[in-house]
Structure 1
Amino acid sequence: MDVDLRKIRYFVAVAERLHFGRAAEELHIAQPVLSRQIKALESELKVQLFRRDRRSTELTPAGEQLLADARPLLASAAAMRRRAVRAARVADTFTVGFMPGLIVTDAVRTLAARHPDLDIEVVRTSWEDQADVVRDGRVDVSHVRMPVDPAGLETVPLLTEQRVVVLPGNHRLAGKESVGIADLADERLLQNPDAVPEWRDIVAARGARERWSQPLIHTTEEKLEHVAAQRGVVVLPLSAAMFYTRPDISYVPVNDIPPSHVCLAWANGRHHGLVEEYVGIAVGSAGGSGRADADEHPRR
């Protein structure tokens, strides 16, 4: 049986809202049409996807499984369509993604010098979307900070760099040569603790309650605003902290946690010449292991 992606999109809209009327409004179709499409999908799959009564709509176990599978399926289909359109319309365009603090200028300039007719674009990514922009075709290759979900990606190590804690300028630890992760156990973390598992481990070992920002603060700029306002601290790779240096904050190396690892990532199976050429340029520019250290950097 062929899968009808339109029906799958309709199903996801209902499953995410658990309301046929609101889903129909979002999809810009009439509710009876939506209901017929869902019934047709259930008939094709030979399963019941929703339990409905006058007061509520709920997913069945089959519906929950389909929702889990449908999201990556739709994302993959969108990425396939986007890459096909780019290949047809912008064959002379190459797009590089990068995380804040990572400088891609040298590699981009080298590729541009080799291909004068190539239009090279750069896209700033974030912790939340740095892998997604590769999978969905928005970029051809991206400089990512590990860890990332490896599904659908190929990666190669590029460099490592020390991590630092960013503190308010008048914080008790500001100005120290270095700190340990245990020194931060009582601080409020202004980022997803998954990005600093060492902090989470030390808090758990002490039997203390995790204090971190909820809802999550997404951009580095917003995190630093909260740091300056003395609402917490954030642990960043050195290059990101230096990129956003400002007079009302301080950064101090954390001496007992692993460094930040930076890799190049591209979509699995995409071995066309420009991707391979850019990877070779970037890895060569990083000097093999490509280590970025904190030596002699000012601690503001």
Structure 2
Amino acid sequence: MHQAHRVLMVAFPNAQMLDITGPLDVFSVANGAALAEGLPAPYRVALAAPRAGLLMTSSGIAIAAGCSVYDAGLEADTLLLSGGPGARAVVRDGALVAALGALCARVGRVGSICTGAFALAATGALDGRRATTHWAHFDEFALAFPRVQIDRDALFVSDGKFHSSAGISAGIDYALALVEHDLGRRRALEVARELVVFLRRPGGQSQFSAQLAAEVGAHDPDRFGELTRWIGENLDRELSVDMLAGRLAMSPRNFARRFMAAMKVAPGRYMQLLRVDAARRMLTDGELPVARIAERCGFASAEAMRLAFQRHLNVAPVDFRARFQRAASGVG
């Protein structure tokens, strides 16, 4: 008889709602896809909290937890700890930390979503292990848990049976990686398509795209907002400084100076970072040959793309693809 994989999400008062519902919707859609093919649902999901009943989230909406983490008979195959302000407060509740630690000890796969890493680390389960959390709480986490090796540049991290993921959308990436591990790539693709998300942003990649990182660090991101959006949509074209300056009716020298002042990065470097980002996605989300990816991303040749990858990521494109295709199978 088929036994569904039991996924238990644990949430805490003042939880981030999407940390709960985002990953759980991934498993729900996987169930729906299986049922549509006449197959049994592969997952059975449940929500636990310190107390069974209504749980208030940080968005002001209450959700219902069906059980308590203090229930001695609580079992699961995968345990996920959600984030939010309440998860960070867990570290001050010794009884709750002890109950979570006991639960982690009897579950075969344990993961945290966003700042749920605080609750997981409080149990001591991450001591001596690698982990990540939301970028805004890196320093707070490192100070609270000096024995945990925090990875500040990852979407999700797997170390033994313990996993951790970054912000809200990274929790969805992590759940998709679990579906791919459990049910295969075809099913994960179906789920990603239904949710209109990428199949997988590999866990070891940066939490930010090059474009977002540049705009966050920019002095005046709106100054060239329309142009940078256009660049991102036209990477396969020859994007010289002269051509870009012409689009704005500026001299090349004035354009380069003003772009650098506004974006805190030279236009040539900015375009190369965007091309590397686009190539990373193609290398991990498909099977196109490296030379074809280089062409689509606007590199002069496959060799030019290799040099750019070595410069910015310290890895060759073929090795990058192999590493992150292997990473998907390592989440279990």
Which TM-score tier does this pair reach, normalised by the shorter chain? under 0.3
TM-score normalised to structure 2 length:
0.25
Larger relative strand fraction: 1
* TM-score normalized with structure 1 length: 0.27
Which structure exhibits the higher relative contact order, with contacts defined as CA atoms closer than 8 Å and separated by 6 or more residues?
Answer: 1
**More helix by proportion, 1 or 2?**
2
